[in-house]
Amino acid sequence: MFLLPASEHFAPLRSFQIRPLTFYMAIAAFGIAPGLANLPTALISAAQAETVTNGGEHVGTEHVGTLWLEHPWARETSPNAQVGGAFLKITNKGESPDRLVSVVTPVAERAEIHVTKTEDGVVSMRALPEGIALPPGDTVELKPGSLHLMLTGLHEPLKAGDHFKATLTFEKAGTAEITFLVEALGGKAAPPAEHHHDH
């Protein structure tokens, strides 16, 4: 059985390997199971918004510099969970590369950029201290089973319908404060992404 260590012991953990079934059972318990729910509205400081409608839901598309940030959301967690996951799409509409280098949020002791990778039937997860490269003209999607923002040491469970803020820092575009909507487990899945990363 895979058990995530308590938050005070989790800091040294940067890479581990577990079997796929156990892994997905674990991340489901932590609120980062595969599947997206209704798309939330993003609020970004010093950014301009373009609002569209999707099935009656208003979806915010925000941009800071040449980066467009879409559909920030997080999966609800179990009552005793110490770990959660947050996701979004980032499109670089500029002509120069950029990079997501860090994230902070008041709902957790620590937020890190992580990636999950499956090789030879074994799933591994690790932190990306170098951040996520954002090539010009490309869209990178943070999603379950791939790139994601790992929230460790949650101060309270993430409940469906709640919102929380996080500040993302980019190498060139600077900082953007966005609001993530917590979605219920088993919510409606979002369209599949074209961009693939090794998480």
DSSP 112-158: EEEEEEEETTEEEEEE-TT-EEE-TT-EEEE-TTSSEEEEEEESS--
Q: Domain limits of the chain? A: 7-183
pLDDT at 23: 44
- Residue 60: the pLDDT is 55
Round the average pLDDT of the chain to a whole number and report it: 75
Q: What is the pLDDT of residue 142?
A: 98
DSSP letters, the chain, are ---PPPHHHHTT--EEEE-HHHHHHHHHHTT--S---S------TT-EEEEEEETTEEEEEEEETTEEEEEEEEE---TT-SEEEEEEEEEE-SSS-EEEEEEE-TTEEEEEEEEEEEETTEEEEEE-TT-EEE-TT-EEEE-TTSSEEEEEEESS---TT-EEEEEEEETTTEEEEEEEEEE-TT-PPPPPPS-----
Q: How many CB atoms lie within 10 A of CB 15?
A: 8
pLDDT per residue over 1-44, tens digit each?
444 444 444 444 444 444 443 344 344 434 444 433 333 333 33
Q: Name the nearest CA neighbour of 32 among 72, 81, 75, 88.
A: 75
pLDDT, tens only, 71-115? 999 999 999 999 999 999 999 999 999 999 999 999 999 999 999
Which class in CATH covers the domain with range 7-183?
Answer: mainly beta
| pTM score of the predicted model | 0.66
